[in-house]
Amino acid sequence: MDLTIEKAINLGLCAHENCDGQGAALFERFVLNTKSDNAEANRNLGFLAVAPTSSVPPKARSDSGNPHVAIGMQSDAGEMFANEDETIDVRTGSLVLLPASVMHLTTSFQSKQDRVVLAFDMEPD
């Protein structure tokens, strides 16, 4: 049987659902060796870090610019608010770390001033 990128991604997701991080990483690395810019495999391998690098100015709305993290399994971000989610109130000096495989999004930031956020994926050793 030939292992396609689509099959490898599906097998990696199944491994994640069964708490088999090592098995999932094998499939995701296969995908990245074949197609290094595959966003799903890159996201599933790493951790997402969100850190304001300067002060967060006054917000126009209390949830402005806050990350939302899904609780449970959603197939896309559009379903996130239909199910339970957790909102993280980001303030000056906040650092948010979470598995990149967790469905997440950030509401648009509304303020009269700009804010600067550093967000990246990393793969732990």
Report the domain count for the chain. 2
User: Is the pTM higher than 0.85?
Assistant: no
At which residue do the structure tokens 């991080």 appear? 21
- The yes-or-no verdict on residue 35 having pLDDT over 80 is yes
Range of the domain at 101: 46-125
Q: Are 108 and 76 in contact (CB under 8 A)?
A: no
Closest CA to 61 of 109, 93, 113, 106: 109
| Three-state SS at 104 | strand
Q: How many residues does the chain have?
A: 125
At 50, list the tokens. 């969100």
Same domain, 36 and 52: no
Same domain, 64 and 123: yes
Q: Which of the four pLDDT bands, split at 50, 70 and 90, describes residue 11?
A: very high
Q: Provide the 8-state DSSP code for 83.
A: S
Q: What is the pLDDT of residues 68-88, one digit of tens each?
A: 877 655 445 555 555 566 888
Same domain, 105 and 79: yes
